[in-house]
Amino acid sequence: MDQIDFKILKKLRANARESFGTIAADLQISKATVSRRVSKLESEGYIGGYTAVTVPSKTGLMRALISLEVVGSAIGSIIDELKKFEEIEYVYKVFGDHSLVCEVYTKSVDNLYQLIQGRILGIPNISNVEVDILIERIVLNLDADLNMIAPQTT
C-alpha cells in the first residue's frame, strides 16, 4: 500500500458511494487507476465491505455497551450463546476488567434491563455485568487507524 491507496481509502470511507471518476479527479489520477487499486484493496482484504450507516435515534432505538466478566475459559461458548440475541450487533473480546463487551440496540431501558436480567445473566460463567447507555457518538478522527499506518512521504 502506498499514499495513493490510503487517499483512496479515506475518500471511500468518507463516502463509499463516491464515483471512481470523482475520486480520480480529486487525486489527479485516472479513473482506471482508481478502479484497479480499489479492486486490489478489496481482493487483499483491506476493504471488507461497504455499508450504510443508520442513525439509531431516528429509528427509535437506543444503543448501549454491556461489559461482561467471564469466569474461566468459557468465552467461546458464551459468544455462541450471545449470537442468539438479535439485539447484539457486535461482541468485542477485550483485555481489562471485563472479558467481553457487547454493543446492543434496544427500544427502551426496560427492554435493555430484560435483555440483561432475563437472558444474559442466565448464561453460565458470567460473573459480572456493567452497562453504559450511549448518548451521542462524536467522531473525532474517522481516519485514526489509517493515519497510524499511512506510509510516510519523503
Position 154 pLDDT exceeds 60: no
Average pLDDT over residues 45-65: 88
pLDDT per position as a tens digit, 60-118: 899 999 999 998 878 999 999 999 999 999 999 999 889 999 999 999 999 999 999 99
> Could you give the 3-state DSSP secondary structure of residue 42?
helix
| Res 82: pLDDT | 96
The model's pTM is 0.77
Contact 24, 17 (CB under 8 A): no
C-alpha cell at 87: 439485539
| Res 38: pLDDT | 96
Average pLDDT over residues 42-69: 90
| Res 132: pLDDT | 97
Complete domains list, the chain, with CATH: 3-51 (1.10.10.10), 56-134 (3.30.70.920)
Which phi and psi angles does 132 have, rounded to 5°? -130, 120
| Res 146: pLDDT | 85
Average pLDDT over residues 16-22: 95
Compute the distance between CA of residue 82 and CA of residue 2 in angstroms, rounded to an integer. 39
Contact 23, 6 (CB under 8 A): no
| Res 59: pLDDT | 87
Q: Which residue has the higher pLDDT, 74 or 21?
A: 21
Residues 6+ apart with CB under 8 A from 110: none
pLDDT per position as a tens digit, 113-146: 999 999 999 999 998 999 999 998 888 988 888 8
| Res 74: pLDDT | 83
Burial letters 101-116, b for 16+ CB under 10 A, else e: bbebbbeeeeebeebb
